[in-house]
Structure 1
Amino acid sequence: MTAELPSSGPYGIVAVASSAGGIQGLSKLLGALGPELSVPVLLVQHLDPRHRTVIADVLARRTDLPVKLAEAGERARAGTVHIAPPDRHLLIGADGVLTLTDSELVHFVRPSADLLFESVAGAYGERAVAVVLTGTGRDGAMGAEAVSSRGGTVIAQDPASAEFSGMPQAAVDTGAVDFVLPLEEIAAVVRGLVEVKRQ
């Protein structure tokens, strides 16, 4: 069952975090990633748990990649966007299997980008790419440090170009960010990183 796990190449996973303003940012990022991404994408977007979410349907109309709410026990699939459901933390293990948990809030939010990034750092180490987009608050900053400390690559949306600068600025302030980019340039860098393995 390990065929789904990318076993060669420098990168094996992309994790993305966003909050306020995120749907527009995610639409642009995912829409520019192209239809043949060679690694899974795990996504935390802060959502109101009181309402049924349509984020997977909305984003699926803006990208050629399959988009779905993550399910506990499923294996992350290359070229698929797995979104944390409302009010559930999304984690991944070294075997590529996803876990959902309703453990306590982290920085007042669930799902937490920090927990996702920390699990990605632990499972993939230097083969992880973490991306922090628009949002308020500090979620994702500690996780960015975790990814960086394990040798992974961290990308932040340029806070000056973000609809809400709090999250990307907090990540940048850690010193753990490798690339600070306008939103429209992030997808090309992500593709360049993960597609190196094909050469």
Structure 2
Amino acid sequence: MTVPARRAVVIGASAGALEALSVLLPALPATFPLPIFVVVHVPADKPSVLADIFSAKCRLRAIEAEDKEPVEPGVIYFAPPDYHMLLEDKLTIALSNEEAVLFSRPSIDVTLESAADVWGDGLIGIILTGANQDGARGLKAIAQAGGTTIVQNPDTAYARAMPEAATALCPGAQVMTLADMSAYLWSISE
């Protein structure tokens, strides 16, 4: 059996996200070849500073996604506050202000499900720390599309509800520490 080529990474996190992402994203090499889409539950009424924080910490370019923005390899796209981030195709991001999902907009599930439709078995889905079940359904969609599914070990998560919900709905997901995730992502960049 041949392993499908990896084409994109989608990461979802909530409570404890800044700390977890601060381990994972700065570890990536400047030559990382895939686009990375990050959805973090952020307050709708304030501007997000995530792109600025990670732009300073990472070797990759980190930006807040814009509607109809072209997807480029080696760029970290953060979902903006109060918008769902969807992938329309392999080339374009779409933002939506449709209803919140599990009280969240941006919703991790919405992004993961749209990415699974676009990239199928070429997608890597990662669920990190969080205090609700957002992301579990989206990770299952990635698994059903043949993609790679990874969940932060709940014992190492700031908030274990999100990784526990993801592994319950997607029992085939690989459970890893942040260090193991970094090593895995580094290995696919070579």
Q: Give the Cα–Cα distance (whole angstroms) in 2 for the partners of residues 87 and 134 of structure 1.
A: 20
Q: Indicate the residue corresponding to 1:92 in structure 2.
A: 87
Alpha carbons 1:18, 1:45 under 8 Å: kept: yes
Aligned to 1:130: 125
Structure 2 equivalent of residue 3 of structure 1: none
1:23 aligns with 2:2: no
Contact kept, 8 Å, 1:144 with 1:176, in 2: the verdict is: no
Structure 2 residue ranges without an equivalent (≥5): none
3-state SS in 2 of match to 1:64: coil
Q: Provide the rounded CA distance (Å) in 2 between the counterparts of 1:190 and 1:157.
A: 14
Aligned alpha-carbon RMSD (Å): 1.2
TM-score (norm 1): 0.90
Matched, 1:143 2:141: no
Does residue 101 in structure 1 map to residue 96 in structure 2? yes
Structure 1 residue ranges, 4+ long, deviating more than 6 angstroms after superposition: none
Matched residue SS, 1:93? strand
The answer for unaligned runs of 5 or more in structure 1 is 1-8
> Is 1:164 the counterpart of 2:159 in the alignment?
yes
Task: Using the TM superposition, give the Cα deviation of residue 95 of structure 1 relative to its aligned residue in structure 2, in angstroms.
Answer: 3.3
Matched, 1:46 2:41: yes
Q: CA shift at 1:47, angstroms? A: 0.3
Aligned residues: 187
Matched to 1:179, the amino acid is Q
Q: After superposition, give the CA deviation of every residue in 1:109-163 in whole Å (9 maximum; x if it has no partner).
A: 0101101000110000000000000111000000000000000001000000000
Q: Aligned equivalents of 1:123 and 1:22: distance in 2?
A: 25
Aligned-residue sequence identity (percent) comes to: 33
How far apart are 1:96 and its partner, in Å?
A: 2.2
Determine if the alignment matches structure 1 residue 111 to structure 2 residue 106.
Answer: yes
Is the 1:153–1:177 contact (alpha carbons within 8 Å) kept by the matching residues of 2?
no
Report Cα offsets for 1:71-96 as digits up to 9, x if no partner. Answer: 11111111100000001000112232
Structure 1 residue 177: Cα displacement: 4.2
Which amino acid is 2:77 matched to?
H
1:43-82 equivalences under 5 Å are 43-82=38-77
